[in-house]
Amino acid sequence: MIFPACEGMAVALLENMRVFARVVELGSLSAAGRNLRLSPAVVSHRLQNLEEHLNVRLLNRTTRQVSLTEAGRVFYEHCQEVLEAAERAESSVAAIGGAPAGSLRVTAPLGFGRRVLAPMVPRFRALHPLVDVRLRLSDHMLDLLREAADVAIRMAVLKDSSFVVRKVADLRRVLCAAPSYLEARGTPERPEDLLDHHCLLLRFPGTQQFQWTVQGPEGPMSLSVGGHFDADDGDVLTRWALDGQGVVLKPVWEVGEHLASGALRVVLPRFPPEPVSLAVLYPHRSLLPAKIRAFIDFFAENVRADLMAMSPDALL
């Protein structure tokens, strides 16, 4: 028989261990708090409780960073084993019971997250009411391990990955600009003409968007484009394009309504950009939690129809 008080202590200890692990992995109490949606005060309190329970100091704290003590390094190694074992146990029970449950952390690009993923989440949870979904939206390429993400939605030219990749669809992309821009600057006739135009770039550390690849007369052709404006938010680039500030590279689903209304016009239609893959990434797991499997299956089954509803030409 498990007494309620003992059960509560065990749960609290496990949660304190999770907090401790995230502090170690992210390097600060504030970063761990943002990741876990806890205040720094709560994070500090949980760490203090853990150290009092173990009767040992685990972390050396300064105002800017934390570092592991010798005892902390030893405990962290065992802490990882315990947390992984707890997750495997939860997954096993969920698989038997058939009811996905728990907190699911999902990352996705900003525009896609706002317009496609966010409307899907309530529909997913209606089917799986025991799952709480935590979205982390950013056009930066987030580190899944650092963000402790369960699933990442990516729109990219896929490269080798240390994660499991499930490709969902190929997405068409177009180069486009506002009529006012084309009237003022002229319409590009060949891919090389882009070098003389203002190109609106999605740029942040690690991005490759300033290299645009189109289908040239003799195969793929990469161009090192430039312009007066760049941003780390794709929606900002669309706004600038609509305001006549330059040429933008966009997935068709994202600008379909503007192309249909004439607010944007396709540029170089005979030289389309290479498509990007819409894919789901998730860490390798010996036993995939039911909540992750359920979300991936739901996403793959529904997203194509959602994108086509936004723009019939969105997919290849």
Q: Which two tokens stand for residue 281?
A: 């990434």
pLDDT averaged over every residue in the chain: 85
Is a pLDDT exceeding 60 seen at residue 6? no
pLDDT bin (cut points 50, 70, 90) of residue 7 is: low
Over residues 36-53, the mean pLDDT reads: 88
pTM, to two decimals: 0.69
Residue type, 86: A
Is a pLDDT exceeding 90 seen at residue 37? no
Q: Return the higher-pLDDT residue of 189 and 204.
A: 189
Is a pLDDT exceeding 70 seen at residue 23? yes
Q: How far is CA 310 from the centre of its chain?
A: 21
Closest CA to 245 of 265, 262, 228, 257: 228
Closest CA to 16 of 99, 65, 100, 79: 79
Confidence at residue 5, expressed as pLDDT on a 0 to 100 scale: 47
The whole-angstrom separation of Cα 97 and Cα 276 is 38
Which domains are assigned to the chain?
A: 4-96 (1.10.10.10), 98-169+277-310 (3.40.190.10), 173-274 (3.40.190.290)
The whole-angstrom separation of Cα 226 and Cα 216 is 19
